[in-house]
Amino acid sequence: MCLGIPGRILSLDGAELPSGRVDFGGVVKVICLAFVPEAVVGDWVVVHAGFAITRLDPAAAEATLAYLSALGETP
């Protein structure tokens, strides 16, 4: 089973591949944003294996994080 985790984009880098710093509840990782070129700072994205695969509306992101928290999977 694959799991995509929602994260909020904190900053963008446009070096060779589009990437950005993404916050996952306090854990910040550099994520490839090539599949979501329309994403901007503040957007929520679903991330799998280091790649943002889609944008997500804030309500859906919050609901997913609440569900994962209830399962004990997030801080």
Q: What is the pLDDT of residues 32-45, one digit of tens each?
A: 999 999 999 999 99
Q: What is the pLDDT of residues 49-66, one digit of tens each?
A: 999 999 999 999 999 888
Q: What is the pLDDT of residues 4-35, one digit of tens each?
A: 899 999 999 977 889 999 999 899 999 999 99
For the cut 70, the answer to whether the pLDDT of residue 73 exceeds it is: no
Which domains, and CATH codes, for the chain? 5-70 (2.30.30.140)
The better pLDDT of the pair 73, 35 is held by 35
Euclidean distance between CA atoms 1 and 45, whole angstroms? 19
- Asked if residues 47 and 39 have their Cβ atoms less than 8 Å apart, the reply is no
pTM for this predicted structure: 0.87
